Amino acid sequence: MKPAKEKVKANPLVKKVTRRPLPQSRRRVWKAGGSTSSPTASRPFKSADTYAREPHFSKQKRFCGQREDMYAAVFILACVCWSASAHQDHRQLCASPNMTGFLSVMGNRGEVRAAGQYTYDSQNKKLRFQTNTSIPWNVTMDLDLLVFFDEGILYKMDSKNQSCEKKWLQSTKQPFALPADSTFMSTMTSGSLSLQGEGLKFQIWTTPTPNLKGNAMMCLTMGCLPVSTIYVTESSMFMFSNMNVELDIKDPDLLAVPSFCQGLPLEEAPEGTAYSFFDEII
């Protein structure tokens, strides 16, 4: 006679696990021939290239990618500047020279909001900016602006229709002048330091922009020639790029008030606003 098996007592510290049946949507169904099918088996495989060519990807993913790339570039530049500022030296504020060149303004979505020729008189604080809609960019604005910063007056002109608006500037911040409240951050080199002619050394300054509710980061050459300025506001970001610069005023008549703008009444901005040159572009 075989001895009876001892009954194993359950350990109260071990939790009994009960297998739950799979939901119907996740069960595999056996077909004839031994193949299986599942809810995802009928979906065609899409490679990364195929997915990237779909309309919803090109309109959404690429758009987000451009925006994220721009924010990432500014973030990296800011981090480099802030980390280098621990070893900064104290620089004196400098004044930009007279300039004629090409100015472009790019938004945080990668769109070119304005681009065209400008003439800047640094001594008399005068600026003429005329957008060029014939360039092969998707420029969103058509502007012709004459600004007298010392007098606080902006003329918005339409030469074709001989029309003009004369506005009062409540903020005289300039796109090419380094403000008195700027703070020096660092000196950097774009390109190569060791190869002659293959690098550009520039200085970086930051300045508050109360009328834009944000801050600005301005890059200038060692001779105080503006290269680019990034404006960061509460809701967006814009980059001003200065290109093809010549250190003279080729046509002084561009800084004179046209006849169809003379004698106009001065338009004041609504109460509670700080109208500036940037409001016409940003």
- Which residues form the domain of 216? 99-280
| 46-75 mean pLDDT | 45
Q: Is residue 49 part of a domain?
A: no
DSSP secondary structure, 25-45, as one string? GG--EE-TTS-EE-TTTTSPP
Q: Is residue 167 within 8 Å of 269, Cβ to Cβ?
A: yes
CA-CA distances (angstroms) from residue 189 to 67, 72, 81, 175, 221? Answer: 25, 19, 12, 22, 10
- Most confident residue range from 39-43, 133-137, 175-179: 175-179
Q: In this model, does residue 274 exceed pLDDT 70?
A: yes
Q: In this model, does residue 64 exceed pLDDT 60?
A: no
Token reading at 57 = 């990807």
Q: How confident is the model at residue 59 (pLDDT cuts 50, 70, 90)?
A: very low
Domain CATH number, residue 187:
2.50.20.10
Domain count along the chain: 1
Q: How confident is the model at residue 62 (pLDDT cuts 50, 70, 90)?
A: very low
Q: Is residue 183 part of a domain?
A: yes
Q: Is residue 265 within 8 Å of 166, Cβ to Cβ?
A: yes
- What's the whole-model pTM score? 0.67
Least confident residue range of 40-54, 130-144, 232-246: 40-54
Higher-scoring residue by pLDDT: 233, 47:
233
CA-CA distances (angstroms) from residue 217 to 4, 199, 233? Answer: 87, 20, 12
Helix (H, G, I), strand (E, B) or coil at 119: strand
Q: Is residue 259 part of a domain?
A: yes
